């Protein structure tokens, strides 16, 4: 990550924290104002190691030395600049290249962003989709979004795994039998006029994708309801 002409030390610290949470550690500071600074340390929280190892550079060229693919991050689109992509597309492209060569994310000053000269030193201009009413993300927030997209692109798509074992068909059906019988017994379900009660409840529990242990709880609950033991 390359930060150019950053004004507020707090943003440098917050950017370091954003990077570290996304597993990145190489920070380059081009011509930073007020760095090092206690505010940067404070905002970095437990990413002070990233700050301590940050490279200070006089120019963007120096920071990009050896970099094969640099992505300029800017809210402003501009004529005659490099190709433009969304943050997500840019991250995918960057990661593809960074598997073998060095890549960089380049960010500009808080007030003015990257100038056109700096953008044109990069291979791609990435924009974070934002509201037309207010498109100016905080610098560290933009670093967080871009590094988040880079991390997701770098990881194989993680699927949310569920922990519990699903209940087999016969257990679920046994539960529905219990439920229906109980409802008939207590007069909640009239077998002569069942309406759509059981189908509705089936739909609800089908959506829940009941786990084994959950079916046991529910059947235990129904059993207890039929044979209540008054609590003291």
Residues of this chain that interact with its own copies (CB under 8 A) are 14, 17-18, 20-23, 43, 45-47, 79, 83-86, 88-89, 128-131, 133-138, 140-141, 144-145, 148, 151-152, 155, 158, 160, 162-163, 182-188, 190, 197, 200-201, 204-205, 207-211, 213-214, 217, 220-221, 224-225, 228-231
CB atoms near residue 44 (< 10 Å): 25
Classify strands 69-73 and 28-30 as parallel, antiparallel or unpaired. unpaired
Q: How far is the CB of 114 from its own copies (least distance, A)?
A: 18
60 or 123: CB nearest its own copies:
123
| Largest CA-CA distance found in the chain, in angstroms, rounded | 85
The three-point CA angle 39-40-43 to 5° equals 85
The three-point CA angle 65-31-113 to 5° equals 90
φ, ψ (nearest 5 deg) of residue 49: -65, -35
59 or 135: CB nearest its own copies:
135
Nearest to 24 by CA among 115, 153, 138, 131: 153
58 or 196: CB nearest its own copies:
196
45 or 52: CB nearest its own copies:
45
Q: How far is the CB of 59 from its own copies (least distance, A)?
A: 27
Q: How far is the CB of 36 from its own copies (least distance, A)?
A: 19
Strand order of the β-sheet with 2-4 is: 55-57, 28-30, 2-4, 103-107, 69-73, 124-127, 84-86
Q: How far is the CB of 183 from its own copies (least distance, A)?
A: 7
Distance CA 147, CA 141 (A): 10
Q: How far is the CB of 23 from its own copies (least distance, A)?
A: 4
Q: How far is the CB of 227 from its own copies (least distance, A)?
A: 9
């Amino acid at each position: 990550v390359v930060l150019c002409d950053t004004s507020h030390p707090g943003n440098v610290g917050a950017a370091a924290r954003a990077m570290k949470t996304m597993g990145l550690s190489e920070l380059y500071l081009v011509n930073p104002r007020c760095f090092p600074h206690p505010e940067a340390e404070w905002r970095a929280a437990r990413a002070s190691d990233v700050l301590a190892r940050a490279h200070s550079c006089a120019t963007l060229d120096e920071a990009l030395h050896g970099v094969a693919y640099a992505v300029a991050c800017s809210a402003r689109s501009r004529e005659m600049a490099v190709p433009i992509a969304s943050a997500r597309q840019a991250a995918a492209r960057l990661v593809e290249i960074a598997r073998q060569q060095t890549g960089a994310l380049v960010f500009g000053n808080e007030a003015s962003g990257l100038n056109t000269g700096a953008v044109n030193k990069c291979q791609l201009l990435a924009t974070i989709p934002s509201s037309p009413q207010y498109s100016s993300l905080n610098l560290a927030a933009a670093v967080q979004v871009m590094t988040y997209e880079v991390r997701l692109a770098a990881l194989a798509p993680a699927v949310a795994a569920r922990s519990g074992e699903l209940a087999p068909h016969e257990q679920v059906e046994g539960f529905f039998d219990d439920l229906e019988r109980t409802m008939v017994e207590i007069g909640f379900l009239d077998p002569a006029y069942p309406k759509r009660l059981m189908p509705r409840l089936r739909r609800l529990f089908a959506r829940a994708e009941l786990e084994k242990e959950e079916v046991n709880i529910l059947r235990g609950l129904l059993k207890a309801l039929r044979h209540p033991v008054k609590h003291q």
